[in-house]
Amino acid sequence: MRLAQARIVTTDVGRLAQFYERILNVQSAGSEEYVELRTLGATLAISSRRAASVCGACAAAPAQNRSVILDFEVQDVDAARRRLADFIESFVLEPTTQPWGSRAMLFHDPDGNLINFYSSTHVHD
């Protein structure tokens, strides 16, 4: 078994899709109700609440996440931080080398979902 996709339910698919296109450097494909952004490991989907309720009986609510972190492995966390400096208003965690050796930074998307950019090997200390 493999995780194929994570989906975020939002009130503004276009806004969130544009945000993720910019931070991930990939294009989204879909409609005003549902888009997918394909990365090397899995697909990130963004869905309107209306589209999610068709399949999930209103079980998903937008902007309510406080327990899931979207982890994206990047080549160089510090380079990603510099690239996003003028785009991300505030970082939860600036690039930091973790006790287990990876380098990571945390920030929120426009709906408040927590995003972790990390690299298994770090360039800077």
CATH code assigned to 65-125 = 3.10.180.10
pTM: 0.85
Token pair in block for residue 121: 């090997």
Q: What amino acid is encoded at 91 in this protein?
A: F
Which sign, positive or negative, has the C-alpha torsion 78, 4, 2, 60?
Answer: positive
Measured between alpha carbons, how far is 66 from 85 in angstroms, rounded to an integer? 24
Which CATH number applies to 1-60: 3.40.50.620, 3.30.720.120, 3.90.1530.10, 3.90.1150.10?
3.30.720.120
CB 49 within 8 A of CB 62: yes
Domain segments of the chain as ranges: 1-60, 65-125
**More confident of the two residues 57 and 4:** 4
**pLDDT tens digits for 53-103?**
766 556 677 778 777 899 999 999 999 999 999 999 999 999 999 999 999
Average pLDDT of the chain, as a whole number: 90
